[in-house]
């Protein structure tokens, strides 16, 4: 049997199409020799996806569960058809094919998290055991399949697993920030959620406290919580969909200099222009928000004649899981921040 590192053989009815773009995957057993089988314990649904489902269901937990089951039944994967996004899962290794690269590196029974999106992971939900509306998580019984190209991380024993899951879900963000942030930079982070918190913590580490770190969010409460991390220099309470107000606030906070690096971790659409305007000419913007519109960013920067390098936040950066877990392990306040929200 030919190797199939991207899982093309799991796509139903669309030959040559990769699993993420496919309408439907076949999550059937047995697994092939280059696959890994996981007993799934919980799904961490992508924030944008969960929000959309929650809103479309009027906030009713039962309706959210039913909608998620319906999506997985129809598509063979947990990919929200509206947002296109997925999430990640936690489970125990059940079986490792002889040709899967994890063979010999992890044993059946060990607890792992998948770091590839649920939007391309073959999945069957046998039973939903609970839903945590506050942390976008669904406890389930079921199985999932990981392809040879699929990245995963062992769940460390020294931290609560919910904490680990919450952090690993967005671990690409701080790892990418580590590539761009340098001492002396002015860095703004839009969105004070978990992704924003990790990015700020990493920016603080990368700049060595030299520079200026700005935290922006619409919620005073979120900003206060973030301020307790002790990593940001300025908190700006702004609505990131109001680009001009954000520009004015950032201009004032930076004495007109604007930012060398702007990191978008917003959860709502329409924040592209605020991100672009907050960057100085020649600066860089990294978009992690799954609500980012490509055309809004591309045409928006052109429309205001702004020379800013715009980067699509790649969820995969080598070493991202270890970097993020290390941030949590070594920064007590960050761990407390996360524990308060995701335990």
Q: Which residues pair with 262 in a beta bridge?
A: 188, 285
- Residue 90 CB burial class (10 angstroms; 0-12, 13-18, ≥19): buried
Q: Which is nearer to a copy of itself, 314 or 330 (CB)?
A: 314
Q: Does 265 bind a copy of itself (CB under 8 A)?
A: no
Using CB under 8 A as the binding criterion, the count of chain residues that bind a copy of itself stands at 58
- Residue 245 CB burial class (10 angstroms; 0-12, 13-18, ≥19): middle
Q: How far apart are CA 303 and CA 291, in angstroms?
A: 20
Q: Does 305 bind a copy of itself (CB under 8 A)?
A: yes
Q: How far apart are CA 221 and CA 242, in angstroms?
A: 19
Prior bond of 261 cis (ω within 30°): no
Whether the CA torsion 219, 221, 224, 229 is positive or negative: it is negative
Pick from 144, 149, 143, 142: nearest CA to 102:
149
Q: Which stretch binds a copy of itself (CB under 8 A): 60-68, 161-169, 187-195, 303-311?
A: 303-311
Q: Does 153 bind a copy of itself (CB under 8 A)?
A: no
Q: How far apart are CA 322 and CA 340, in angstroms?
A: 22
Q: Which is nearer to a copy of itself, 128 or 308 (CB)?
A: 308
Q: Does 297 bind a copy of itself (CB under 8 A)?
A: yes
Interacting residue with a copy of itself among 93, 113, 135, 273 (CB under 8 A):
273
Q: Are 114 and 64 in contact (CB under 8 A)?
A: no
Q: How far apart are CA 256 and CA 248, in angstroms?
A: 9
Q: Which is nearer to a copy of itself, 163 or 276 (CB)?
A: 276
Reduced to 3 states (helix: H, G, I; strand: E, B; else coil), residue 221 is helix
Q: Does 233 bind a copy of itself (CB under 8 A)?
A: no
Residues 19-58: x where in contact with a copy of itself by CB under 8 A, - otherwise, as a string: xxx-------------------------------------
Q: Which is nearer to a copy of itself, 37 or 243 (CB)?
A: 243
Q: Does 256 bind a copy of itself (CB under 8 A)?
A: no
Q: Does 218 bind a copy of itself (CB under 8 A)?
A: no
Q: Does 84 bind a copy of itself (CB under 8 A)?
A: yes
Q: How far is the CB of 319 from a copy of itself (least distance, A)?
A: 10
Residues 235-254: x where in contact with a copy of itself by CB under 8 A, - otherwise, as a string: -------xxxx---------
What residue spans of the chain are helical by DSSP H? Answer: 47-56, 61-75, 161-168, 172-180, 194-207, 220-227, 243-253, 272-278, 294-303, 320-330, 332-342
Interacting residue with a copy of itself among 252, 302, 326, 333 (CB under 8 A):
302
Residues 100-139: x where in contact with a copy of itself by CB under 8 A, - otherwise, as a string: ---------------xxx-xx-------------------
Q: Does 309 bind a copy of itself (CB under 8 A)?
A: yes
Q: Are 91 and 121 in contact (CB under 8 A)?
A: no
Q: Using CB under 8 A as the criterion, which residues of the chain lie in contact with a copy of itself when the complex forms?
A: 5-6, 8, 16-21, 83-86, 115-117, 119-120, 149-151, 172, 242-245, 270, 273, 287-288, 290, 292-318
């Amino acid at each position: 049997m030919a190797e199939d590192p991207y899982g093309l053989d799991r796509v139903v009815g669309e030959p040559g199409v990769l699993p993420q773009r496919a309408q439907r995957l076949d999550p059937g057993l047995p697994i092939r020799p280059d696959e890994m089988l996981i007993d799934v314990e919980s799904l961490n649904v992508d924030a944008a996806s969960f929000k959309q489902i929650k809103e479309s269901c009027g906030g009713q937990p039962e309706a959210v569960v039913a909608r998620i089951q319906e999506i997985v039944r129809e598509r063979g994967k947990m990919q929200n058809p509206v947002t296109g996004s997925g999430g990640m899962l936690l489970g125990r290794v059940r079986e490792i094919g002889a040709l899967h690269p994890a063979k010999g590196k992890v044993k059946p029974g060990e607890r792992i998290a998948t770091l590839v999106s649920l939007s391309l992971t073959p999945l069957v939900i046998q039973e939903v055991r609970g839903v945590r509306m506050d942390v976008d998580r669904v406890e389930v019984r079921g199985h999932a399949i990981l392809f040879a190209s699929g990245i995963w991380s062992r769940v460390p024993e020294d931290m609560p697993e919910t904490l680990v899951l919450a952090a690993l879900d967005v671990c690409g963000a701080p790892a990418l920030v580590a590539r761009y942030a340098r001492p002396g930079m002015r860095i703004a982070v839009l969105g004070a959620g978990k992704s924003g918190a990790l990015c700020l913590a990493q920016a603080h580490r990368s700049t060595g406290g030299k520079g200026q770190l700005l935290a922006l969010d619409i919620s005073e409460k979120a900003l206060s919580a973030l301020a307790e991390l002790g990593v940001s220099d300025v908190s700006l309470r702004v609505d990131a969909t109001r680009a001009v107000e954000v520009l004015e606030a950032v201009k004032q906070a930076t004495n007109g200099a604007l930012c060398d690096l702007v990191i978008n971790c917003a959860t709502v659409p329409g924040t592209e222009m605020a991100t672009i305007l907050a960057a100085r000419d020649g600066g860089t913007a990294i978009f992690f928000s799954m609500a980012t519109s490509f055309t809004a960013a591309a045409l928006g920067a052109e429309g205001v004649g702004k020379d800013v390098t715009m980067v699509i936040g790649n969820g995969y950066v080598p070493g991202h899981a270890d970097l993020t877990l290390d941030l949590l392990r070594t920064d007590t306040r960050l761990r407390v921040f996360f524990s308060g929200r995701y335990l």
